A = this chain, B = another copy of it.
């Protein structure tokens, strides 16, 4: 703990109804919106892996560290209430870096009415590590889980995919409001957010649900960044490969019964487009339907932390 930084935070962090004690005790006390259950997400981000401080403004990094957690709560159709921010700061320039990170965290927290409720600030000789934990309330129709998909469900996605490394992986727009609105209006079966990669995360959802999926490749919404990245790299990977495997799009993948899917696609009830990209089937594993109608195995590409 560095006293001066804690004092700065106390002045800078707004009071919040969910935070009766404010910050600065041994632990925080968070008022729940609904009794009984708390939804908790936690993500650790590291300099050189999830961002590069040599290239990105600390405010964008701070924004990402909170946003990826909010995205996890969106995937559960949960309403975030409080965030905890722990930092391992490089000794040199650590104070200014911490302030920069919080200048990215606090506006996003305010935007989603999330109380910045505590954390732990440390310094060391290593690179920046930021670990954020977010609490949320389950909500009326929550929690939405990965395990709820059923054979025959349609697979819908928000937004478009690929090429997030060009900048969108930092400027994450967590689909919290979209998820709450959809869970409020429609009987969603299962959900996940795309962090590792569209194919990889759909595969996670299928594995948890004990089923598989057939993806219509022609229907994958490809982000312009995926086109740009494919053109820049010119390594033979078309934009579709980037859409399926790049990850960090932080869009939602949802499964719903076919009639519900039809309503959602017609009504388009959120600001970002909903697209039908395929169906849930009983046979485990991912398959892809090509434009010529042929079905083949689809590799669940995406990011995995490798260690031995």
A interface residues with partner B (beta carbon < 8 Å): 1-3, 20-21, 24-32, 35-44, 46, 48-49, 72-73, 75-76, 78, 82, 84, 86-95, 117-127, 129, 131, 133-136, 138, 143, 145-147, 191-193, 196, 208, 304-308
Copies in the complex: 2
Q: List 28 A-B contacts (CB under 8 A).
A: A2-B305, A2-B306, A20-B37, A25-B145, A25-B147, A26-B193, A27-B75, A28-B39, A29-B39, A29-B40, A29-B143, A32-B38, A35-B35, A38-B135, A40-B84, A40-B118, A42-B84, A43-B86, A43-B120, A44-B87, A48-B124, A48-B125, A88-B129, A93-B308, A94-B308, A126-B129, A129-B129, A129-B131
Q: Are B26 and A41 in contact (CB under 8 A)?
A: yes
Q: A82-B40, A145-B21, A307-B95 are in contact. Are A88 and B46 (CB under 8 A)?
A: yes
A80: nearest chain-B partner, CB-CB: B27
From B39, B42, B138, A133 is in contact (CB under 8 Å) with: B42
Q: Give Cα A116–Cα B265 distance, bound, in whole angstroms.
A: 39
Q: Give Cα A37–Cα B135 distance, bound, in whole angstroms.
A: 12
Most chain B CB within a 10 A radius of its CB, from A25, A75, A120: A25
Q: Are B307 and A46 in contact (CB under 8 A)?
A: no
Q: Give Cα A250–Cα B39 distance, bound, in whole angstroms.
A: 29
Chain B residues with Cβ below 8 Å from A32 are: 32, 35-38
Top 5 nearest A-B pairs (CB, nearest first) are A94-B307, A35-B35, A131-B131, A27-B41, A26-B75
Chain B residues with Cβ below 8 Å from A3 are: 304
Q: A26-B146, A29-B39, A40-B28 are in contact. Are A2 and B126 (CB under 8 A)?
A: no
Q: A2-B307, A43-B120, A49-B124 are in contact. Are A29 and B37 (CB under 8 A)?
A: yes
Q: Give Cα A35–Cα B26 distance, bound, in whole angstroms.
A: 21
A44 to chain B, nearest CB (A): 4
Q: Are A27 and B89 in contact (CB under 8 A)?
A: no
Q: Are A26 and B76 in contact (CB under 8 A)?
A: yes
Q: Are B27 and A120 in contact (CB under 8 A)?
A: no
A85 to chain B, nearest CB (A): 9
A230 to chain B, nearest CB (A): 26
Chain B residues with Cβ below 8 Å from A42 are: 84, 86, 118-120, 131, 133
